[in-house]
A and B are shown apart, each in its own frame.
Chain A
Amino acid sequence: MVGWASALLALLLLAVVASLALGAREIALGQVWAALVDPVAGDNDHLVVRDLRVPRTLVGLVGGAALGVAGALMQGVTRNPIADPGLLGINSGASLAVLGAISLLGVTSVVGYLWFAFAGAALAAVVVYGAASLGLEGVTPVKLALVGAAVTATSTSVITVVLLADTQALDDYRFWQVGSLANRPLDVLTAVAPFVVVGLVLALAAGRVLDALALGDDVARGLGQDVVRGRLLVVLAVVLLCGSAVSMVGPIAFVGLAVPHLARAVVGLDHRRIVAVSALLGPVLLLGADVAGRLVVRPGELEAGLVVALVGAPVLLLVVRRSQAVAA
């Protein structure tokens, strides 16, 4: 475990350094360091590092951690290895709210999208959880997953109708929708950081609950867990983390799917460890994808949301293929 942890931290450090140094303008490591500790006014390299790359890297760090941990929580609480923010309706709720802001209110900046995305994500989660908890059985993993997919389908339909009717909205929305780390001002980060912190703390605290839930509701009850409260806690953490991540970087779902699987391959089935490792692996994947996206079509860029699936999917397939039985 210690070995893995230090390896992960080293990887993360590497990703951060690469994100600060590489891009359309390559900046030597010494210059990067100087820009951080002793900036010279008017130096273009220092300007790029401080005003563009530092915010971008921080957004990638926080967003990646939030997405990775949210994915781990979702797969745990639904006991379904293919649950992710994209499938459980959260991303589509956020997308619908952002599209509403674009189409009805004429909002066009990332800062403007922020609270719409957050509110949409939260509303979708409330609808999914609320609808799944109606009925005699209460919330079951299957119902959560099905209702989530239903909410996704419904919002996607509404989104399609709006986009087919409103060309201008499509023009703005398509770029938000792919997901990117570029041009996110630090305001966006400071606005959501408290939510991410609370979400991460809740997630770590929920590890025990998830371990018990993995054995089935009855066994969990027998072990003395308050199943309903535990599940609510997890869903609250998911809303905080997903809402923050989506409002910062757009609906990038792949990180939430892949990272928990990679984490399980590394540390096994203990949920506290999965959460901790996901918090480190998420940023590695997202920052790595962002750096790769800057390098492949220089001086242009590919958005991180596009690259992350192209880079991450082969890794995921390899892990899935190697594992004897994928944990459910």
Chain B
Amino acid sequence: MSAGTLEHSAADRREVAAAGLRGARRRRRTRRTGVLAVLVALALSLSGAALVIGDFPLSPGQVLGALLGADDPSARFVVVELRAPRLLLGALVGVAFGLAGALFQSVLRNPLASPDIIGISQGASAGAVAALLLGGLSGAAVSLSALAGGAFVGLLLYAVAWRGGMTGHRFVLSGIGVAYVCAAVVGYLLTRSEVDQAQVALRWMAGGLAQAEWGLVQVLALALALLVPLVALVARRLDLLLLGDDQAGSLGLRPEVVRAGVVALGVALACAATAAAGPVAFVAFVAAPVARRLLSDGGLALAESALVGVVLVVGADLVAQHLLPGDLSVPAGVVTGAVGGPYLIWLMATGRTAAR
């Protein structure tokens, strides 16, 4: 009799536990879907606003017509040649920075380890500023120089941090050291040039979308079409890596190799976006902490981080172009920092759990 009761209650407990687990999974799934839906809706409505709002007044109907090929040359020009490429560039840059930040912060296990802090952005800035101030170059040449600068820093960090494998701390620390060197180079160039030239360089370093045109969008889209599938491919491994090196190793992964691959992807994404739009401040840094805070399930949140990136860049560009007082028009990168910073502080100050 007593043995029967015990058995019975053990089965009961299993049943209760299983039900609890199912409930938790369901809640987690619901929350995930909800967050994704809200972010997508936000991104879409911001995109709509970006196409409709502007100095040249257009109704939503006219915009839609222009996109679908209606015969209204001026509306068509404004929408297809000016606003659409700018919007797409912003979205692509947001995806790239959001993913890059999320990859870096999770694989290096340091919330400060985003490309704008560990030297990639600074390397790209040094490259671009050198091209602007020393070479007197502009346009695509500056982008290429930025790409070269960022990539050079990435390779240098590998060379320094790789020693029979890669540890996160070594990479991050070396990155910050290199970031200061690049900042010193930029400081040198800024103080040894004409002040109006320095202002041009400063504007590039803030990051913005004013240079958008279809050619640039195509190049960046091509780069992301290559990189994003790779990110999806490593995401599962990265998830396992978060269990710890020993656990991941016993599951058949080689932690250093996975880490190196993920970092390489992060560097490539950050370099591509920076070359296209400049180091749009804080997007890479803030996207993942915000996405994870919204989900609060301790997951990787790569898709959500990318969406947060899109919302941030597209929204910031809207604000920077149209919503500032007077005729003040600033690069979008100024707004991402000014909005993203306080928002992150507010998240930290009001939340119950620390972002991971």
Contacts and interface: CB of A to CB of B under 8 A. Distances in A.
Interface residue range, chain A: 35 or more
A158 B183 contact: no
Contacts of A298: none
A307 B187 CA distance: 11
A67 interface: no
A142 B112 CA distance: 9
A259 interface: no
Contacts of A312: 177, 180
A199 to B, nearest CB: 23
Contacts of B342: 150, 154
28 contacts: A81-B173, A82-B112, A82-B173, A134-B350, A137-B352, A142-B111, A147-B349, A149-B285, A150-B282, A150-B286, A150-B344, A151-B341, A153-B281, A153-B285, A157-B337, A157-B341, A158-B338, A164-B199, A164-B206, A170-B199, A174-B191, A306-B184, A313-B180, A316-B177, A317-B174, A326-B169, A326-B170, A328-B169
A310 interface: yes
A131 B344 CA distance: 10
Interface stretch (A30-38, A98-106, A218-226, A250-258): A250-258
Interface string B331-356: 10111111011101100111111111
B110 interface: yes
Q: Determine chain B's interface SS by DSSP, over half rule.
A: helix
B345 A147 contact: yes
A108 interface: no
A257 B286 CA distance: 22
Given A150-B341, A257-B177, 12 more contacts: A81-B169, A132-B349, A151-B341, A154-B341, A157-B206, A157-B338, A164-B331, A174-B191, A309-B180, A312-B177, A316-B173, A317-B160
B161 to A, nearest CB: 7
Given A135-B350, A160-B202, A326-B169, A309 B334 contact: no
From B334, B348, B351, residue with most partner A Cβ within 10 Å: B348
Contacts of B333: 157, 160
Interface in B150-184: 160-161, 163, 167, 169-170, 172-174, 176-178, 180-181, 183-184
A160 B206 contact: yes
A307 B331 CA distance: 30
A1 interface: no
B174 A143 contact: no
A8 B112 CA distance: 32
Closest 10 CB pairs of A and B: A154-B341, A157-B337, A134-B349, A157-B338, A309-B180, A153-B337, A309-B184, A150-B341, A150-B344, A326-B169
